[in-house]
Amino acid sequence: MKNGKKHAALLPLLMVLLMLPLAAQDLSDMGSLKPFAINGSIGLNSSFYTVSGAIPERQAPFAYGINAMATITVYGISMPFSFTWYNNNKAGFRQPFNQFGISPTYKWLTLHLGYRNLSFSEFTLNGYTFLGAGVEARPGLFRLGAVYGKFNQHNDYDLAMADSIPRLTRTGWATKVGYGTDDRFVDLSLLRIGDSPKNFTDSLAKQGQPTPAQNLAIGLTSKFRITPRLFFHFDGSVSFYTHNRLIAASDSVTDGMLRFAGHFITVNNSSAYHKALKTGLSYRFTPTTVSGFEYRRIDPDYQSMGSYFFNNDLEMYTFSQTASFLQNKINARGSLGLQRDNLSGSKAKRASRTIGSLAGNYAIDDHWAVDASYSNFSTSQKAIKQAANDSLKIFQVNHNLSLMPRYSTSSETRSQMVMLHLNWMKLDDRNKLTQEQTNTDTYIAMLLYNLGLLRLKLNISAGLNYTEMVNLNYSNRLAGATLNMAKLLLKDKLSLNWNNSFLFNTLNNEKGTIFNTGLNASYNFLPNNAFTLHLNFIHNAFGDSAIVPSFHEIRGDIGYVYSF
C-alpha cells in the first residue's frame, strides 16, 4: 500500500508530458479569425403597471431604466456581459463567463483549458465540469485522452443558506487509451479523483461536512460489427470508493481487487468497490428496420467522481424495434423492458417495473399525416417479508395515449395547416387501499388552424382547447379559445403581434373566466435603431368564495434599443 502515492503520481506526469507539444502548435484557421470584435445592444425602458382585485401588486406602478448587453470576441472566443439598472433599486451586472474555457483544435489534436467537461465513458468520466487542462488526440486510429484538474471547490456548510452544500477541494485526473473508428473501437479509461483532507477538521464533521473520499474507476467501452448487419456494444466499469481516506491504510486486505486499487488510492475499512455494465446487440434488416436488445446492471451504491449522478441499484432488460411499411410512409418504433431493484437483497422491499412504448407516424399523402403513440409504464413494490399493512404495497400503471392528425397545404400566395391533438393520461393504482386517493385521469384536446398570407405578410392562427384533470378529491376543467395575428408593415420596418386567449375554468365547484390579451410591436426607424412596445391585460373573474382570486391587471413597457 505504501507504493500507492508513487504509482498515482506517474500517470498525471505522463499526461503533462503528452500535452507539452501542444503549447507550440498554431491553430490552422487562426489567420482567418478576427483578432477583436464586439456586438450587442443598449436600451432605455419605461414600464407601467396597475392591478385591482384580490392580489397584491406584482411590480412597481412606474419604473424606468437602462439595460445593455455586449459580447466581446477575441480570436473566436466569445465573452458576454449584461448590465441592468432601474430606478426602483433593481440593478445587476452579469459576467456569465466566470466559468471560462477554451478547446482549440489543430488537425487531430484538441487542447482543453479552463472550465471544461469531457466524456470518456458513461461510468467513469462522463460530463463532470472541472477546472484544469486536458488533451484529446486522434492520430490515425488511436483514440487518446487525458485531463487533470479541480472537480470541486472547498465550500463550508452555511446554516443561513438553505441550499448550502459542504464540499472539500476535489482534484484528480482521468485518461483514455483506445483504438478504432467511431463505429468500431475499443477504449480503456481510468479515473482517479480525491478530496483534499487539508481543510477537514472534527468540528466540520459535526456540522455535516463529508469526510475526504477517494475514487478509482476503470472502464472498458467497445463497439463493433459482428456481421455487416449485426452490431454489438459494451460499456463496463469497476469503481473503487474510499469514503474516508483519513483512516489508516490497511495491510491486511485479502480481496484481490481492493489490493490492486491500493496501488492508486488509500484502501482501508471504509473502502468498497461496485460494478456497472451495459451491453447490447442490434440487427439492421434495412436502414429503417432495426431490432435491438440491451442489458443494464448497476450495483447499489455505484458512484464515480467523474459523473454527477447514477440511477443505481437496478437491473434492466430492454427490447426495441423500429420498422417501416408502404415505402416508408408508415414508420413505427417500440420498446418493452423489465426493470427491478434491490439487487443485493438489503432493502425491505423490492420494486419491479414493466416499461413499454409504441409510437408511429403515417404520411398518407402530400397533405395528410397522422402521429400516434402509446406508453404503458408500471411500477410495483412488495415487501420481501410479508407486510402487515397493505397500504405499503405499491402497484401503479401509467397510461399515455396520444393521437395527432394534421393537414397542410401551401402555394405561392398562402399556406394552411389544421392540426388536432388528442391526449389521454391515466394513473391507475392497483392497490385497493390507496387507489381512490391516487387514481387520476387527464384529457387534453386541441384544435389549431393556421393561415399564412404570404403576399400580405400576415399570419393568423386560431384554436380551441379543452383540458380536464379528475381524481377523487380534485377536478379541474379548462375550455377556451385562442386567436393570434402577426403582420409586417411599412416595408417590414414595423412588426405587430396580437395574442388573445379566453378560458372557462371550473375548479371543483368554483367557476370562473380568464381573459388574456397582449400586443407586441417593434419599429425599426433607422438601421440599428428600434422602438418597442409591449402591452398586456389579464382579467380573472371568479366568485367571491372561490379559492382562485379575481383581479384585473395591466402591464406596459415602452423602449428604445440601439444595436451595434
pLDDT of 395 reads 47
105: pLDDT confidence band, cut at 50, 70 and 90? confident
- Gap between the Cα atoms of 418 and 399, Å rounded: 27
Q: What is the pLDDT of residues 78-101, one digit of tens each?
A: 777 788 888 876 556 555 556 678
The answer to whether 197 and 245 have CB atoms below 8 angstroms apart is yes
Q: What is the DSSP string of 253-303?
A: ---HHHHHHTTTS--STTEEEEEEEEEEEEEEEETTEEEEEEEEEE-TT--
Q: What is the pLDDT of residues 171-217, one digit of tens each?
A: 999 999 999 999 999 999 999 999 998 877 665 565 667 889 999 99
The answer to whether 86 and 559 have CB atoms below 8 angstroms apart is no
pLDDT of 136 reads 97
Average pLDDT score over residue span 528-550: 88
Provide the mean pLDDT of the chain.
85
pLDDT of 32 reads 66
Q: What is residue 148's DSSP assignment?
A: E
Closest C-alpha to 4, from 307, 219, 226, 216: 216
CA 285 to chain centre: 33
The answer to whether 242 and 266 have CB atoms below 8 angstroms apart is yes
pLDDT of 12 reads 40
Q: What is the DSSP string of 464-506?
A: EEEEEEE-SS-EEEEEEEEEEEEEEETTTTEEEEEEEEEEEEE
Q: What is the pLDDT of residues 386-427, one digit of tens each?
A: 444 444 444 456 889 999 999 999 999 999 999 999 999 987
Cell numbers found for residue 140: 490515425
**pLDDT above 80: residue 242:** yes
Average pLDDT score over residue span 214-230: 96
**pLDDT above 80: residue 354:** yes
Q: Which residue has the higher pLDDT, 120 or 56?
A: 120
pLDDT of 40 reads 92
> Across 52-66, 237-251, 267-281, which has the greatest mean pLDDT?
267-281
Burial of 129 (0-12, 13-18, 19+ CB in 10 A): middle
Percent of the chain, pLDDT > 70? 82
2: pLDDT confidence band, cut at 50, 70 and 90? very low
pLDDT of 79 reads 75
pLDDT of 386 reads 42
323: pLDDT confidence band, cut at 50, 70 and 90? very high
Closest C-alpha to 493, from 531, 549, 439: 531
Average pLDDT score over residue span 256-270: 93
- Give the 3-state secondary structure of residue 202: helix
- Gap between the Cα atoms of 297 and 292, Å rounded: 17
pLDDT of 355 reads 85
Whether pTM > 0.85 for this model: the answer is no
Q: Which residue has the higher pLDDT, 284 or 345?
A: 284
The answer to whether 440 and 468 have CB atoms below 8 angstroms apart is no
Beta bridge partners of 445: 422, 466
Percent of the chain, pLDDT > 90? 60
pLDDT of 210 reads 80
pLDDT of 466 reads 97
DSSP element (H, E) containing 7: helix 4-19
Q: What is the pLDDT of residues 106-164, one digit of tens each?
A: 889 999 999 999 999 999 999 999 999 999 999 999 999 999 999 988 776 554 444 45
Q: What is the pLDDT of residues 431-472, one digit of tens each?
A: 555 556 667 889 999 999 999 999 999 999 999 999 999 887
**pLDDT above 80: residue 233:** yes
**pLDDT above 90: residue 487:** yes
349: pLDDT confidence band, cut at 50, 70 and 90? confident
pLDDT of 434 reads 58
